[in-house]
Amino acid sequence: MLFNSYEFLFAYLPVVFLLFFIIGKRHHLSAAAFLGLASLFFYAWFSIGALPILLGSIVINYLFGLKISATSQKAWLTLAIIFNLALLSFFKYANFFIDNVNYLSHSSDTLPILDIALPIGISFFTFTQIAFLVDCYQGQVKEKNFVHYLLFVTYFPHLIAGPVLHHAQMMPQFAKKETYTLDYEKIALGLLVFTMGLAKKILIANPLGEYADSFFNGVDTESTPNFGNAWLGTLAYTFQIYFDFSGYTDMAIGISLLFGIHLPINFNAPYQATNIIEFWRRWHISLSNFLRDYLYIPLGGNKKGISQRYINLMITMILGGLWHGANWTFILWGLAHGLLLSWNHFWRSLAISQVLNQRILKPLFWLFTFIVICLTWVVFRVDHVHHLEPIYRGLLGLNGFDNIKSSWAFAEHLKASRLYELLGISFLIIYLGKPSHHLLDSLRQWHQKTLWIPLGLKLNVVALATFLFMMYCINMVGNYNPFLYFQF
């Protein structure tokens, strides 16, 4: 049940929205319980077979949390983290381990491949609960109501593809009486943010994804993509993954606002970054914060000397890459960003970096950073490590500069001119545009400057315009409609 599907928009969401506030008028905790059950139904729609795994994880982690809070014993925290990592490793990495053992032993029959399916969203709900357990150990968890905990973990706008939530961001909101009262301003803003995300996904990410897939899926060890096609395919994926994931996050934030609940900002114009450190402060912010707070800092962060700092960065980013999937490509992607972050920190420590860090050079720093990000996305996207060589040869021009149309077939209904338009629009948005939360700030400022216009009228105009644009976007949904981060 995708956010842009008819069953979600015209059945699930309206019914859950209405019942939540109807129940909330009478009893807040019952409304929270209902929303938790509705979230479990949402998850079961994708994979009812994985529902017991999610429920078991929630119950066991909640009990672990109570025990850790009561005893403050590190042994209980260690046991709880081992449980979560074992669960995640079994479903996500067991066959990866078996494949590598069989490869190293030069036999395909040494260990049999397990017949297991990856539960959707397991990485997100596992990381969410590990953070909760660590906070229990540190005495930071005050709210221990099971209904609120269930809703915190399963809350359907974020459950499948994030953002990675912190209990302090969510559970206090579930305890506020204001959450269970209709707020028409939040509803209007929520619809607006949702539609912005829907437009990113349907009008930009999907058509770019078709070309990116036609390029990357056509690569093999015998491929010789030319310079133009290699860069078109790479740029198409660079923009696809941003608008796909950013669009999903905007939709999640918008849906959550309908229920009066604020989700954390997950993107802040990451492709406007002028260095890799800044990029990671802007990209997938909730995951970056998790890796910093629960991995990098516990390893020692930058408190144990320069050499150890770089080692900690490498460990953090490699594990962050592995979190995305059981493939050597993700490990290499994490390794690449670990090296880039280490170099960035080393560069900042040099006196010459302060001399060169002038405003006039910012465009060059931005261009260099953007190109590096594009190059690393290739590692993230390819299916096999041995597909990297022909693509990088093409990107460097080593495969020639033949006419673009002569080497790779476009998707049948996607013309070259359409691709150029999409890439141009994408570039303007990422370089000049503002993230959704800035737009909301601008709307609030506009409201303050136009107090002479009745608030109800303004909200109705925004809601009507948003609804019409939403219908247009929904009408543009085609057969190609993947959400990239569902696989992580």
Query: CB–CB of 335/321 below 8 Å?
Result: yes
List the one residue out of 199, 274, 212 whose CA is nearest residue 238. Answer: 212
- Is residue 262 classed exposed, middle or buried when 0-12, 13-18 and 19+ CB atoms within 10 A define those classes? middle
Q: Which residue has the tokens 């074992």?
A: 86
Exposure string over 347-359, b if 16+ CB within 10 A, otherwise e: eeeeeeeeeeeee
List the one residue out of 385, 255, 260 whose CA is nearest residue 327. Answer: 385
71: which 2 tokens?
Answer: 């005893």
Q: How far apart are the first and last CA of the chain?
A: 17
Active site residues: 324
Length of the chain: 488
Q: How many CB atoms lie within 10 A of CB 244?
A: 24
- What are the start-end ranges of the H helices in 155-216? 156-159, 167-175, 184-199, 206-216
Q: How remote is the C-alpha of 48 from its chain's centroid?
A: 23
54/63 Cα distance (integer angstroms):
14
200/206 Cα distance (integer angstroms):
9
Collect all residues with Cβ–Cβ distance below 8 Å to 109 and sequence separation of at least 6: 102
H and E: helices and strands count for the chain:
22, 0
